[in-house]
Chains A and B, each alone.
Chain A
Amino acid sequence: MTIVAPGSGSPVGDPFEGPTASQDDRGTSLWRGAWQRLRRDPFAILGALIVLAFVVVAVAAPLIAPYEPGGAQWGSQVTPSSVPGPSEDHLLGLDAFGSDLFTQLVHGARQSLVIGVVSTVIGLAVGSSIGLLAGGIGGKVDVALMRLVDVLLSIPSLLLAVSVAAALGRTSTSVMIAIGAAQVPIFARLLRGSLLAQRNADYVLAASSLGLRRRRVVMNHMLPNSLGPVIVQATLVLATAIIEVAALSFLGLGEPNPTVAEWGRMLVKSQDRLETSPQLALLPGMLIAVTALGFTLVGEALREALDPKFRR
């Protein structure tokens, strides 16, 4: 049973609680209302379609791709100054090392999804815990933790990710941890802010006067009320994660296998052949941009849909 916080945009209220400000006269809950708005928003639909396509391709990559990824099986057809274009055997031609370009792009989606999701989960888990502790406990713990967050925010997030990746060495795991680390401050601030906003709310005072332990209040009541903004933020952060993976590859931090199917890697390698084979740059670059766009559209649409101001 979740106590609903009035006016904060929260999940479905318990029917026994009676009508609250989050339910309008027609009895539609916040989430259902949001869904109705989303359904009519063309941007949201576009974004959702992109995300769906991306996820499907990523998950079904081994089935969609005609060949094995990263094999450089046709290296003998590649010279330093030329790369074969589309042909019967190769839908989009070859890449700079002699792998099938279409296969590499499809498996690249898979890499991006994995890295994006894992790093976002890391950022979300660690960041939210920090924010929870800071906002929930308050006092000195709050100050100390927020100082740490401020330090992390004092440099641009790309440099933060770079520092972590440099320290951890060249593996995909270190890239995921690095990007996750750069997202920690965002979630920390978000959770803490959300908790602080609810702290003085009537229902919290009511709950504590009822004798409910602090921790119970935070975990069982305040936390779920923060769900909306967290989901929105996670979507947006996923979009930036996909871009940051590419940026880190650009900077030379990432897997040691040069033929690994990863969009950022492919984009970097294409710089040498920008004039002779521009498709090697254009295709992965567009895919990165479009995928990030999809997630951003969904995230932005969700944010607008869940924002009570728009429900006038």
Chain B
Amino acid sequence: MLRFVLRRLALTVPVLLGLSILLFLWLRALPGDPARALLGQRATPESIANVTRLYGFDEPLYEQYFSYIGALLQGNFGSSTQTGEPVTAMFRQGFPATFELAVCALLFAVLLGIPLGYYAARRHGTPLDSLTVGASLLGVVIPVFFLAYLLKLVFAIGIEPLDGLGVFPTAGRQNPRIGATHPTGFYILDGLLTREWDAAWDAFLHLVLPAVALGTIPLAIIVRITRAAVLDVTGEDFVRTAEAKGLTSSTISRRHVLRNALLPVVTTVGLQAGLLLSGAVLTETVFAINGLGSKLFSAITLLDYPVLQGFILAIALMYALINLTVDVLYGVIDPRVRVS
């Protein structure tokens, strides 16, 4: 098992290395002076000279790369050109909000998606099945930010004549008037830890619409994959054997079908992490949640290169870790994979 994990880890390192090279080259491929790009508005002839010396922009390329990697390994990802704040600090600041949102979105997608896909497959050929397939197709193609707008419009702002549906908060993570205490930065958890139940509930309400918006695409995909996997498995021999043995339909479904269908679902859930991260950029902006996504959004619109570089690397790392976890889970569920 350990060897399996180590082998997968070993594959990740060259990929991340390659990405760092690409990002390194990217900054220098941009039009204009990289020192200016890093300093932004605060560029003066002295500061440009300073930064050029600091980052070694006038040194040969490979030397620059090594100092760049060296800085990264020391945890120095540079600072924002807008606020001068270190990228690592910004990341730590934004992480709890995005993590909370992503977890809620994923829970929404999984808890709703797997049962839906399962029941659609069991009722294959009925109108319910067709409806589910159609809805899930629609769910995949709706642009995340459009969905976010729609949800906001209907369920938060309220649109005539359905005014009454506008019950959810429109933006932010929490009502500042509640004056909640935040020991960890994960607002729902904070509310539970400090017994401020109204704060926890308020934080939860603020997350509902964003989580639904963010989780809809993963939901749609999970529904489809689950349905397809269950359909596949239901046709397999071992199910027919179980039926022949006289096991009841429900036992078959739970014990055999679901467990075997779980495999592709697990992989898919892992792959959704990537979608969640890019979707978070758009969702957090529409709902004004101050997490990694909206920081990344600002960095993109303002072309804040140190933040972009640092965040992209961090995202790639998270992505790789998630994929690794998924592969390990896969190995746990299906012994065949481990051995190969």
Contact = CB atoms under 8 A, between A and B. Distances in A.
B134 A43 contact: yes
A251 B138 contact: no
B25 to A, nearest CB: 10
Given A159-B281, A166-B308, A289-B138, 19 more contacts: A43-B133, A150-B15, A151-B18, A155-B274, A155-B315, A169-B31, A246-B146, A247-B143, A251-B297, A251-B301, A252-B301, A267-B146, A267-B149, A271-B149, A271-B286, A288-B146, A289-B142, A289-B143, A300-B137
Nearest to B17: A151
Contacts of A148: 18
Given A247-B282, A278-B159, A296-B141, A154 B320 contact: yes
A102 to B, nearest CB: 20
Which of A155, A162, A247, A282: most chain B Cβ within 10 A?
A: A155
B107 interface: no
Interface stretch (B64-72, B150-158, B204-212): B150-158
Contacts, number: 113
A122 to B, nearest CB: 18
B19 A154 contact: yes
Interface of A: 43, 147-148, 150-151, 154-159, 162-163, 166-167, 169, 239, 243, 246-247, 250-253, 267, 270-271, 274-275, 278, 281-282, 285, 288-289, 292-293, 296-297, 300
Interface residues of B, number: 45
14 contacts: A43-B133, A43-B134, A43-B137, A150-B15, A151-B22, A157-B274, A163-B23, A163-B312, A167-B26, A169-B31, A246-B145, A267-B145, A274-B157, A296-B140
Contacts of A156: 274-275, 277-278, 315, 319
Contacts of A247: 143-145, 282
B14 A147 contact: yes
Interface of B is mostly: helix
Nearest to B20: A151
B328 interface: no
A163 B308 contact: yes
Nearest to A240: B141
A253 B140 CA distance: 23
Contacts of B140: 296
Interface string B281-318: 11000100000000001001101000010001001100
